[in-house]
Amino acid sequence: MPSTRNLITAVALAAGALVSTLASAQTTLRYAVGFPTGAAPESAKIYADAVKQYTNNTVNLRVYDLSLLNLAEMSSGLKQGLADIGYVLTPYTPAEYPHLNMASELSMLLALENDTSGKAGMAFGGALAEFIFTKCPECNADFARQNQVFTSTGGSSPYMLLCTKPISTAADLKGARLRAGGAAWARWARQVGATPVSMPGNEIFEAMKQKVVECSIQSAPELSGLNLKEVTTDITPGVPGGTFSGATTNINRDVWRKLTEDQRRGMLRAGTVMGAQVTYRYYVYAKRDVEQAVAKGAKLHQPDAEMLKVSRAAIEADAPNLAATYAKQHNVKRGDELIAAMRPLLTKWTQLVAPINSAEALADLYWNEVYSKVDVKVHGLQ
> Which domains, from first to last, does the chain contain?
27-155+244-296+322-373 (3.40.190.170)
Residue 115 — pLDDT band, cuts 50, 70, 90?
A: confident
* CA dist., res. 65 & res. 116, Å (int): 33
Question: Residue by residue, what is the 3-state secondary structure of the chain?
Answer: CCCHHHHHHHHHHHHHHHHHHHHHHCEEEEEECCCCCCHHHHHHHHHHHHHHHHCCCCEEEEEECCCCCCCCCHHHHHHHCCCCEEEEEHHHCCCCCHHHHHHHHHHHHHHHHCCCCCCHHHHHHHHHHHHHHHCCHHHHHHHHHCCEEEEEECCCCCEEEEECCCCCCHHHHCCCEEEECCHHHHHHHHHCCCEEECCCHHHHHHHHHCCCCCEEEEECCHHHHCCHHHCCCEEECCCCCCCCCCEEEEEEHHHHHHCCHHHHHHHHHHHHHHHHHHHHHHHHHHHHHHHHHHHCCCEECCCCHHHHHHHHHHHHHHHHHHHHHHHHHHCCCCHHHHHHHHHHHHHHHHHHCCCCCCHHHHHHHHHHHCHHHCCCCCCCCC
Instruction: Please provide the average confidence, as pLDDT, over all residues in the chain.
Output: 91
Residue 278 has pLDDT above 80, yes or no: yes
* CA dist., res. 138 & res. 143, Å (int): 9
Residue 349 has pLDDT above 60, yes or no: yes
pLDDT of residue 37: 79
pLDDT of residue 17: 39
pLDDT of residue 39: 86
pLDDT of residue 200: 85
- Per-residue pLDDT tens over the stretch 29-85: 999 998 877 888 899 999 999 999 999 999 999 999 888 999 899 999 999 999 999
Residue 302 has pLDDT above 90, yes or no: yes
pLDDT of residue 368: 98
Residues with Cβ within 8 Å of 125's Cβ and at least 6 positions away in sequence, in order, are 153, 154, 155, 245, 275, 276, 279, 366
pLDDT of residue 25: 60
Mean pLDDT throughout 220-249?
94
Roughly what angle, to the nearest 10 degrees, separates helices 120-134 and 261-295?
160
pLDDT of residue 261: 97
Half-sphere exposure of residue 186, counting CA atoms within 13 Å on the CB side?
Answer: 8
Residue 382 — pLDDT band, cuts 50, 70, 90?
A: confident
pLDDT of residue 255: 98
pTM exceeds 0.85, yes or no = yes
- Per-residue pLDDT tens over the stretch 133-167: 999 999 999 999 999 999 999 999 999 999 999 99
Residue 20 has pLDDT above 90, yes or no: no
Mean pLDDT throughout 316-327?
92
pLDDT of residue 26: 79
Mean pLDDT throughout 323-344?
95
Residue 222 — pLDDT band, cuts 50, 70, 90?
A: very high
- 284 forms beta bridges with none
Residue 35, burial from CB neighbour count under 10 angstroms (0-12, 13-18, 19+): middle
Residue 98 has pLDDT above 60, yes or no: yes
Question: Residue by residue, what is the 3-state secondary structure of 148-162?
Answer: EEEEEECCCCCEEEE
